[in-house]
Amino acid sequence: MTAPSRLLNRDVLRIGTTGLRTRPTRAVLSALGIAIGIAAMIAVVGISSSSQARLNDELARLGTNLLRATAGTDFTGKQTTLPPDTVGKVGMVEGVERASSTATLPVSVYRSRLSDPAATGGLVPMVADRSLLDVVSGHVRTGTWLNPATSAFPAVVLGSAAADRLGVVTPGTQIWLGGNNFTVVGILDPVSLAPELDRAALIGEPVATRLFAFDGSPTTVYERSADEAVERVRSLLGPTIAPQAPSGVEVSRPSDALAAKNAANQAFTGLLVGLGSVALLVGGIGVANTMIISVLERRREIGLRRSLGATRGHIRTQFLTEALLLSALGGVFGCGLGAAVTAAMALTNRWPFALPAESLAIAVAATLVIGAAAGLYPAVRAARTPPTAALNS
């Protein structure tokens, strides 16, 4: 009995690259479809994980131990206020480290007394505790925060959006607040954990009491507690502030809102992943198409190989290998491209660069599956080509 036909694995790899080596342009173009699909998916994963990393960094910096209690509506739908001694009571809850409050004033703020009274700009004058900035981790961009002296006089600190809308750039500017001239003493940076302060014009309690008959009832209380006590404090805040109607107090955790916003962005990335997978599918069809053309063109080569002793299996393996290598080429190139897009995005947005290694592994595995699927039919077709027909073409 004759020894069997044998093809060494090394040779499988070598002849599998024949098509890629002899027709590099075609190989690159057909791998490009796969590359674009993979790059899109890698970029989507990379960008969303980079922005998640940025959020995690930000939360780590700001802390997730801030709770915010606001006066809600009671069961008749009437707006409630918090009692004047709320901050003091909250400060006595076990686990609470610091507490502060703001109170919304029923007045409006304008650039000057000549401004259109209807153009409030959505800006809210508020009475602020002097400890507020510390509790919400806010920063003064220019000027100073309220101190015991400025709290007693018509001085105001503007949130970043409020300063933009009023056109105030430097401290010292006069604005028109509730029928009085107020002098801007400071402008804040955006406050991530309390975005409502961005639209606020913050004044001290003594001047509010004097000019606007402020009764000391806060509308919002902020508190910081030890990380492990957050949930317990959260459940205690309502009953502590308003024992007779705890449900009238809305307690929220601003860091949750930030995370929720990020989750909404993630939902959008689902759509992009869908688009990427369509590109991948089209890329796979491109590879299948290229392979079918290649099989038709190389009928003579197939016939020759059969005459040299190749079995149908050897021919099948050769073309399947070529399809796999073609898609793997696209996959690796796509991974690089996707990582580059992610890096560029992270760099321009000053996010940390984050790309899970397993997403790259999954991407390459996916291209191999696509390559196998795309190459199967052409390979079977090549193997079925009768050697005599192939040689005479």
Partner 1 sequence: MISLSDVQRAYGAPPVLACAGISLTITPGEFVAIVGPSGSGKSSLLNIIGTLDRPTAGVARVDGLDVSGLDDRALSALRAHRIGFVFQQFHLADGVSAVDNVADGLLYTGVPRARRRLAAKGALDRVGLAHRLDHRPNQLSGGERQRVAIARAVVGDPPLLLADEPTGNLDTASGTAIVELLDDLNRQGTTVVVITHDTGLAERLPRRIALRDGRVVSDSSGES
| Contact positions with partner 1 (CB under 8 A) in 8-67 | 8, 10-11, 14-15, 22
- The neighbour count for residue 112, using CB atoms within 10 Å, is 10
How far, in Å, CA of 331 to CA of 117, rounded?
61
**Residue 306 — φ and ψ, nearest 5°?**
-65, -40
> Residue-wise over 67-102: b if at least 16 C-beta within 10 A, else e?
bbbbbbeeeeeeebbbbeebbebbeebebbeebbbb
For the window 361-390, what string marks contact with partner 1 as x by the rule CB under 8 A? Answer: -------------------------xxx--
Q: How far is the CB of 317 from partner 1 (least distance, A)?
A: 12
Tokens 């690089």, residue located: 336
Smaller CB separation from partner 1, 23 or 234: 23
Decide: 69 and 249 in contact? Cβ < 8 Å.
Answer: yes
How many amino acids of this chain bind partner 1 (CB under 8 A)?
A: 31
Query: Judged by CB under 8 A, which of 20, 259, 343, 391 binds partner 1?
Result: 391
* 241 alpha-carbon distance from chain centroid: 35
Q: Does 309 bind partner 1 (CB under 8 A)?
A: yes
Q: Does 158 bind partner 1 (CB under 8 A)?
A: no
> Residue-wise over 291-326: b if at least 16 C-beta within 10 A, else e?
bbebbeebbebbbebbeeebeeebbbbbbbbbbbbb
Query: Judged by CB under 8 A, which of 301, 323, 325, 330 binds partner 1?
Result: 301
Q: How far is the CB of 262 from partner 1 (least distance, A)?
A: 54
11: tokens are 């040779």
Q: Does 307 bind partner 1 (CB under 8 A)?
A: yes
Q: How far is the CB of 6 from partner 1 (least distance, A)?
A: 3
Q: How far is the CB of 310 from partner 1 (least distance, A)?
A: 5
Which residues sit at the interface with partner 1, rule CB under 8 A?
2-8, 10-11, 14-15, 22, 300-301, 303-314, 386-388, 391-392
